[in-house]
Amino acid sequence: MSLSLKHTVIISLIFLIFISIFLFVHHERLHLTSIGDASELSGQKAKIDQPYHNRLNMITMNLNMNMTRLRSNLQFISNQFATDREVDVESIRKHVVKEEPIIATQPLSTAQTIIDSKPIISSSTPLESSLPSDPSNDQVERRGILMCNGKQVDSEVIYWKIVPGDSTYESPITPHHGEHHDRYITFEYDGGGWNNVRMSLESLIVVAHAMGRTLVVPPQQHLYLLGKPHKDKDDKEEHDEMGFADFFDVALLESHRGFHVLHMEDFLRREGVTGGLHGKTPPGNSSDAWGDALWRYLSQVADAKPEWSGRFIAFPAAPGDFNVSSMLRDSAVRARYEAFGGDRIARGTICYDEQLQRAHHIHFPGFQKHRILQHHYAFAFFADPAMQSFYRRFVRDYMRYKDDIQCAGAELLARVRQDSL
């Protein structure tokens, strides 16, 4: 591209940007003039009312944000022309005009005013829930939904998505989705801090789905460093125990066709008090068993208690392929496997085998060699790359904090951003 053409591109883009800002300012000036005229006609010649001040503040904020975008665009253009390579004019155009001009809908205010005011995260039409819509209507990947106070809101905290087909995906390597009510995974919360608890939960979510098993959610318990007394929705007295449903959206997980959830009291009522767990009943023959007595009972009646700490599990691409060696005959799978496992391969890979598939009840204690202190994307290897991708999306889109927590984060972020301008 010649120098003159480069200059033409720069000048044209800058001209378009300034024209858009000029038109915006001109529109706001006309609006302010109408407000000022109305004030004079009402006899308030020396007094500018509060809405007028708010509008001025809002214009200042809008101009600051758009000027920041202008500087970013100019820096991008400058970087494009700073090299000797051919300039991609289309990429410049997309970068500069990929979004509409920022138009703020709230005036600037002091920090105290923001704290005392109503939520400022933008909202739209009220919806019934944040569950994904009917998958048959999803033809393209869409941004996720966040519901705050009964209304759908827009916020940059929304990282999850609604992906066509994901809500009905079932693991292709297990034969017993229709028998998930006879295959269970129980677990104890990890004894460490919340990050350890969260990591192990995400890994267990992936394992349960891949195995086509029902995940049994344990009752609330004392979680390390999370012991502030509080009342849940139906509580009469304060308590400091917390659990799965305090952080994650169980209804969202239950909405997924390939994932199965059961609460501990229902599991004990179905399997424990009926003698379905090797003929042994829970403490007191009660479905309300809790604490150490419950954990000891589950350990005693489990068909398997995996010791997977520091290792990873490999899932085949086809049902019944229970041998790692046969799985790795494909050179592409072997390359991915070696990159995934690294030094951990020497510790012995856990293979999803016939014993794990047939076990009625698998229990994961929360201590010593039973702890899963790895992120799900580093713990579960899938020979099928499509499955590997799905489970990363599954955790992102379904194993997320419940809306109450996300809304608090969205509100906090919105207020900090507004107060910082």
Interval 268-284: pLDDT, tens: 999 999 999 999 999 99
- What confidence tier does 59 reach under pLDDT thresholds 50, 70, 90? low
For residue 67, what is the DSSP state? H
Strand pairing category for 184-187 and 361-364: parallel
pLDDT tens per residue, range 293-305: 999 999 999 999 9
- Give the predicted TM-score (pTM) of the model: 0.69
Least confident of 3-12, 44-53, 231-240, 312-321: 44-53
pLDDT tens per residue, range 102-140: 333 443 333 333 333 445 555 543 444 556 555 445 579
- pLDDT of 145 higher than 50: yes
For the chain, first and last CA: distance in Å?
40
| Proportion of the chain in helix, strand, coil states, percent, rounded to 5 | 50, 10, 40
Q: What count of other Cβ atoms lies within 10 Å of the Cβ of residue 141?
A: 11
- What is the percent of the chain where pLDDT is above 90? 56
- Structure confidence at residue 276 (pLDDT): 95
Q: Are 375 and 206 spatial neighbours (Cβ–Cβ below 8 Å)?
A: no
pLDDT tens per residue, range 2-19: 445 555 555 665 655 555
Can you tell me which residue has the tokens 């308030």? 44
Q: What count of other Cβ atoms lies within 10 Å of the Cβ of residue 187?
A: 24
* Coil, helix or strand at residue 161: strand
The residue among 48 and 318 whose pLDDT is bigger is: 318
